Amino acid sequence: MEIPIANIYYLLCYAWNKLEESETIKIEPSESTELVDLFARVLISGLDHLLKKGIDRGYVVYSEESLVLRGKLALQPTIKRALFSRGQVHCEYDDLSYDVLHNQIVKAAIAKLVRTEDIQKENRSRLVDLLHRLSEVRSVELTKQMFGKVQLHRNNYIYDFLLRVCELLFDNLLPTEKPGGWRFRSFLRTKEQMATLFESFIRNFYKREARSVFGEDLLKVGREDIRWKLTPLDEDSAKALPKMQTDVCITRKSQKTIIECKYTDDPLRPDRFGGDDKLDSDHLYQLNSYLDNLSDEPLNNNCHAILLYPLAARTVYLNYCRPKGQIVTARTINLTHDWPTIHRNLLALVA
Q: What was the pLDDT predicted at 93?
A: 64
Instruction: State how many domains the chain has.
Output: 3
Q: What was the pLDDT predicted at 273?
A: 79
Whether 30 and 110 share a structural domain: yes
pLDDT band at 114 (very low <50, low <70, confident <90, very high): very high
Burial class (CB in 10 A: 0-12, 13-18, 19+), 93: middle
Q: Calculate mean pLDDT across residues 139-147.
A: 94
Among the candidates 132, 164, 186, a domain finishes at: 186
Q: Is the pLDDT of residue 66 over 90?
A: no
Whether 72 and 47 share a structural domain: no
Q: Is the pLDDT of residue 211 over 90?
A: yes
Whether 64 and 29 share a structural domain: no
Could you give the CA distance from residue 99 to residue 137 in angstroms, rounded to a whole number?
4
51's CB contacts (< 8 A; 6+ apart) are 130, 133
Q: Is the pLDDT of residue 87 over 80?
A: no
184's CB contacts (< 8 A; 6+ apart) are 34, 35, 36, 116, 118, 169, 172, 173, 174
Query: What share of the chain in percent tops pLDDT 70?
Result: 97
The model carries a pTM of: 0.86
105's CB contacts (< 8 A; 6+ apart) are 142, 146, 147, 150, 163, 166
Q: Give the domain CATH number at 213.
A: 3.40.1350
Task: Select from 2, 10, 71, 1 the least CA-distant residue to 339.
Answer: 10
Q: Report pLDDT digits (tens) over 222-281.
A: 999 999 999 999 999 999 999 999 999 999 998 999 999 999 888 898 888 778 889 999
Among the candidates 97, 126, 155, a domain finishes at: 97
Burial 123-161 (b: 16+ CB within 10 A, else e): bbebbeebeeebeebeeeebeeebbeeeeeeeebebbeb
Q: Is the pLDDT of residue 94 over 90?
A: no
Whether 150 and 113 share a structural domain: yes
Is residue 52 left, alpha or beta, with left meaning phi > 0 and alpha meaning psi from -120 to 50? Answer: alpha
Could you give the CA distance from residue 254 to residue 315 in angstroms, rounded to a whole number?
29
Q: Is the pLDDT of residue 286 over 70?
A: yes
Q: What is the mean pLDDT of the chain?
A: 90
Whether 114 and 170 share a structural domain: yes
Q: Report pLDDT digits (tens) over 7-19.
A: 999 999 999 999 8
Whether 93 and 123 share a structural domain: no
Could you give the CA distance from residue 217 to residue 223 in angstroms, rounded to a whole number?
18
Could you give the CA distance from residue 259 to residue 286 in angstroms, rounded to a whole number?
11
Domain that residue 291 falls in: 191-350
Q: Calculate mean pLDDT across residues 321-350.
A: 94
Whether 233 and 254 share a structural domain: yes
Whether 253 and 202 share a structural domain: yes
Whether 146 and 239 share a structural domain: no
Answer yes or no: are the C-beta atoms of 69 and 91 closer than 8 Å. Answer: yes
Alpha-carbon Rg for the chain, nearest whole angstrom, is 26
Whether 227 and 148 share a structural domain: no
Whether 311 and 290 share a structural domain: yes
Which of the residue ranges 55-69, 205-219, 220-234 would you say has the lowest mean pLDDT? 55-69
Among the candidates 118, 153, 186, a domain finishes at: 186
Could you give the CA distance from residue 169 to residue 163 in angstroms, rounded to a whole number?
10
Whether 143 and 283 share a structural domain: no
Q: Report pLDDT digits (tens) over 148-205.
A: 999 888 778 889 999 999 999 999 999 998 888 999 998 888 889 999 999 999 999 9
